[in-house]
Amino acid sequence: MGNLGVWIGLGVTTAIVFGIGSCSLSVLNTEARNKKNVEAQQVATQAVFDRVWKVIKQQANVTEEYSSQFKEIYSYVMSGSTGGSKNLLGFIQSVNPQFSPEMHSTLMTSIEANRRDFERENKKLIDLDREHDTPFATMPSSWILSLVGREETNIIVVTSGKTEKTFETGEENNIDLFENDG
């Protein structure tokens, strides 16, 4: 009877170790896959941002001479600011006086479509980041992840200074849609 107790104890111990090991491997593999998805989406978001600025630059016929000024305005335009779109139009008209109304209409349509595309990519990035980081807040996965030194991801979401200030203060007091908030 004594040997039976040893065998049962050994079986139970083996089952526990196997269960913990399987759970740990599952948590670690899931975290690794999710992290790779976040990294890939961050690069995809950057690629969309790059494509958008190049499309707008080409449609507006902005020369290399004005590219650095255009990039400053472009970041503001991508933030979704109406003032940014007004600034872009003013800039284009100052460096390209032959800018036609048809070109303006095409450019504004491109900006709106590309903003939506960029927003969609950012939302995907944020959702993948949430999916990756949730196990860090739940048990037992948080124990396993911290035990092996895994960390939450740190994504970059492009936004504007105005948006940041609004969320810091919890107030939106500017009602002048065409004021340049930089």
* Per-residue tens of pLDDT for the chain, all 182 residues: 578 989 999 999 999 999 999 999 999 999 999 999 999 999 999 999 999 878 877 877 765 555 566 666 666 666 655 555 667 767 666 666 565 677 778 888 888 898 899 999 999 999 999 999 999 999 999 999 999 999 999 999 988 888 888 889 998 887 665 565 55
Q: Give 118-122 contacts, CB < 8 A, sequence gap 24+.
A: 118/45, 118/48, 118/49, 118/52, 118/78, 118/158, 119/80, 121/41, 121/44, 121/45, 121/48, 122/45, 122/157, 122/158
Rounded to two decimals, the pTM is 0.74
Domain boundaries, the chain: 2-169
Secondary structure letter of residue 150 according to DSSP: -
> In 3D, which of 34, 41, 26, 21 has the Cα closest to residue 152?
34
Secondary structure letter of residue 138 according to DSSP: S
Q: Which residue type sits at 66? A: Y
